[in-house]
Amino acid sequence: MVVEAVVESQVLLQLDTITEGLRIAISWPVIGWMAVGLLLGIVLGALPGIGSPVGMAIVLPLTLPLDATAAIILLVAIYSGAMFGGSIAAILINAPGTESAAATTLDGYPMAKQGLAKNALAIATTASALNGFLAAIVLILISPILIGVVLAFGSPEYFLLAILGISLITIVTQGSLVKGLVAGALGLMISTIGTGILSPTPRFTFGQFGLYNGISFVAALIGMFAFAEMMKLAARSQIAESDIELGGSIKDGVMTVFKYPKTVLKAGLIGMGIGMIPGSGATTSTFVAYAEEARSSATDGRFGEGDPRGVIAPEGANNPTVSGSLVPTLSFGIPGSGSTAVLLGGLLMHGLQPGPTLFGDQLQITYAIFVSLFLSNILIVLVGLSVIPYASRLTEIDTNIIIPVVVVLSFIGAYTLNRNWFDVGAVLALGVLGFYMVRYNYSVIAFVLGIVLGPIAEENFFRSLQISGGSYDIFFDPINRPLSFLLVLGILFILVGPFLKPAIERALNRA
């Protein structure tokens, strides 16, 4: 009876917290910012070269006057809206607005060339929103499990998790282990500039007072994503090279999605599952969903020639990836993509600590974010289907307009952070660095994670040593701290695995 009473009280407590999250998400002006973020995300996502990381990085410093919950929901709405917006350019001009929409070009653009552009856009809208809607529900349902996992982590586990996150992403994002580690290490080095976290000692400031607070990670995000992307975009005069004709039927496109429920469900599960893996991102999930659909439908499919399932699969996977990627970001502070790295920057900037705080005292904020995802996907259907007749105009904007606007907004945003010209200088310097890192295939995401996760790793490392009295055994104790021990094994597996794999394969081939 006592156990049943405890369980019942826990369930009631969860329901009360979810209800409070719902109240926050639908309160004014939070819901207004959600709608603004969604529209902004769709527009930015439809512009190749902009996308969600750039848009979120530009908007991030402008959210300073907002309430923390409203600011984070605004950023999440931009992220979610850009996932759908990226498909507009992918379908109409064969140039994905975001990397995650690249798989949509394979069948979306052939459909547009066949005069079915409206069908393809309606399919993308419906599949993306429907699975995003379902994924948000799943996220709310599994959150009690996440709470238990997150609360089991202490300082040693968070230090090791930060190292694990950097190690994992350096491998997944760019393929080159050495270049990924170099990028991550460079980010970590930059995170050490400024006054020490636990001791008031200036480090690498060269006597410059403006560097005593270190390099702002928000300025770094703006530079690496927004400014660097504008340098790349400068080589292009206009996003679309010619006028675009919109043919087909929106209604037929919507109905097509419901003809393939298995494809929709499978894509949603793939998107959410891969989204939960740090470093994977929506690009991976959309291509995996597309490849799986092409494999399972090989006998009756015409993939690459305008098969509607080739649009349903990647678009059905992209928005669930947003929900999935929030799990490591909010639970452990490990972002899995550029967009979630910016989101993590937003959380820290507004004083929200991922982990036990967001799943403890501030659980209602976490639920408000989850509920906002739920509501955002309803709005994506309404807004997305409404903008289809006008979608082609978004791809005809002159880059001579886009680039100055983004650059000026980036500088204003950086300056307003601390009213410090060093932050503007950081945007310029890191923007140029980011441009050349992308050109020579160094992972920008690993670099940014180094800056974002560096202070978290440093703080928890020294705190762990304070707890253990200076003993490093606290990280390698399988009896008292099994989670720490497992994380150490995970880090070793990630770092050493690629070197051992060829030797293991050679040994197996000889056997």
pLDDT tens digit at each of 511 positions of the chain: 555 655 565 666 667 777 887 888 888 888 889 889 888 888 887 776 677 777 888 888 888 888 888 998 998 888 888 877 878 877 877 766 666 777 887 888 888 888 888 889 899 889 988 888 888 888 888 877 777 776 677 788 878 877 877 776 555 555 566 787 788 888 888 888 888 777 778 888 887 877 887 887 777 877 887 788 778 777 766 555 555 667 788 888 899 999 999 999 999 988 888 777 765 567 677 877 887 888 787 677 788 788 899 899 988 888 888 888 888 788 777 776 677 888 888 888 888 888 777 777 778 888 888 888 888 888 888 888 888 877 766 666 677 777 888 788 778 777 776 777 888 888 889 889 988 988 888 877 778 777 877 887 888 888 888 888 888 888 888 888 888 888 888 888 877 776 776 777 777 676 6
Does some domain include residue 72? yes
Give the Cα separation of 241 and 244 in Å (integer): 9
Tally of CB atoms within 10 A around 281: 25
- The HSE-up count of residue 428 (CA atoms within 13 Å, CB side) is 9
**Does 507 fall in a domain?**
no
Query: What confidence score (pLDDT) does residue 368 get?
Result: 86
Helix then strand then coil, in percent of the chain rounded to 5, is 75, 0, 25
Does residue 482 fall inside a structural domain?
no
Dist CA 257 CA 2 (whole Å):
48
Number of domains in the chain: 1
The pLDDT assigned to 240 comes to 54
| Cβ contact 24:71 at 8 Å | no
pLDDT, position 344: 83
Domain assignment of residue 67, yes or no = yes
> In one letter, which amino acid is 143?
S
Tell whether 111 is covered by a domain: yes
Contact partners, residue 63, CB within 8 Å, separation at least 6: 70, 71, 74, 75, 346, 349, 350
DSSP-assigned letter for residue 152: T
144-173 as b/e: b if 16+ CB within 10 A: eebbeebeebbbbbbbbbbbbbbbbbbbbb
pTM: 0.73
Supply the Cα-derived Rg of the chain in whole angstroms: 23
What kind and span of H or E run contains 315?
A: helix 309-332
489 lies in some domain: no
Alpha helices, H only, 68-203: 68-93, 105-113, 117-151, 155-174, 177-191
Residue 490 within a domain:
no
Token couple for 372: 């906002």
Residue at 156 is within a domain? yes
Per the CB < 8 A criterion, the answer to whether 413 and 222 are in contact is yes
Can you give the pLDDT at residue 256?
A: 92
What is the per-residue pLDDT for 259?
92
Q: What is the reported pLDDT for 347?
A: 86
Nearest to 428 by CA among 231, 153, 207: 231
Q: Which residue has the tokens 């070197």?
A: 499
Q: In this structure, are residues 136 and 272 in contact, taking their beta carbons and an 8 Å threshold? A: no
- The predicted pLDDT at position 442 comes to 84
Q: What's the pLDDT score for residue 6?
A: 53
Question: Domain range holding 396?
Answer: 1-237+249-475
